Structure 1
């Protein structure tokens, strides 16, 4: 099967073929991305956001069709895969196209089309098969990219490298409100961004701000990524559904996980429905490397001897924790 969309590959009917974006603005403002490569396929991602900082992203509250293409060349003279998928409002008009049936160990180029607008062109690659003939794998990792703390020059330099893969180890966004002046960037931000995210609409705006950065977009468009999360995608040092600041954060976590999925090039199990999301997974890169991506937050226990950077438990002693429903700064009482 040439291509499978994570949501569905559906025929486009005329009634849904030409909805308009608010103000007619360019919809691919967050760029494109690919991720979770295998030897035969990869995930292609984009999101339609003509207006970054309004609920719904400036899109109509209905499903809309997006065309995707994969080519052997950057000029798209040799298109080998194409299809149409729905961008759904309940997923913030993001799409996760799971393409299969590609040849292993080579680069591919991809793009999306919505109405008369064409996305930036992305470059991705498939992993090699396990033949023992491969001499190297070139990858980089990134993490902890708080937008208001500085520019993403490291990602700009990364995008100029000749890499096979980027691993993002978490803290893709941070959970706080953005300073009015943009912090270190000295770029004024809308008032809606100055309060911390608490619901899914506001989390979507947080991701829209981060992903509007041109250096981050360039690095995503240049290589496939493998992404996991850490704590700041929800709240500092949280464990499972508990926070040192406010106790149970089940609703906050659900909103944050939803927005994370909508903005990352990940596969269907990562969608937060049913018993999901499941983001721990494995990537095999020929005979050279095995990447085991872990989820260090969703299943974490409340720390027994203090949250975050608190001192470790005393050596040679046994402590029994009685953690309350609304833990104190220390996280628990001991006896």
Structure 2
């Protein structure tokens, strides 16, 4: 009897580490199928305000707004258009904006998302390794409706039909100069919480905001550009004017991956689609309270022609998205809005 008890005790002692090892293996197998990144499916921006100012011999425009019969439209500004100004506000040309959902990009031109959002879980902080990644298309833009807002300082939020939600917003802009020589244009971007200065969640989500300035066309007239209010089906236009490059502004560049990765390609799996994050123009000093991204040269304006009275003109797209791989993009920061302000100048300015 005692011999049997000893045998049973010995067998149990051997079984315990075996079970422990089996359990550990099972846990490893289950957790190995998930990545410690985020591409949040719940965060949605509920408001976006924009304004821009130009200094020196610069004027800026958001286009000519047509409010005749039928839907309002935005067209490129004519040479003599009254829309050319030193100060512009998006609410003077658009009256409502759809909710913005997180996407991810390595260059500001091509954006990507998880095809099936059920593969994003744990408060938006984990994505399955084998989740399919697809490219964001024109049809995935958030609705931006032309027309003058009731309060030009604040766009009306479109509530919440799925067709109005999207992963990015493209705003066409034009800038011109009377300078007689080719000029570098510098831009400082300020991103502030649109709710209140003490809204901690808003302050956090602001760090996930990405603003890309994409040069498209230059010359002596304002060329036609397509923004979110006029995009048709098909792939995003990823072309940039020859000799120029895209600049991406943000308050910080921290992503979940130690190597600072984002989604940089459509792929069979999320793991395969993760690449190095882009270089962004971060907030001055990268301080907690810094809300202004340091100024940088964003494109070169052609010289004006004094003899013909033609300006030097640049058309560009301002693309805004929420970087889903940002450490600041998670469920608890949902339902925020911000003010994004641009200051364009021909001289590089210092300080915040």
TM range (shorter): under 0.3
Which structure features the higher share of strand residues? 2
TM-score, structure 1 as length reference? 0.25
Greater length-normalized contact order (CA 8 Å, ≥ 6 residues apart):
2
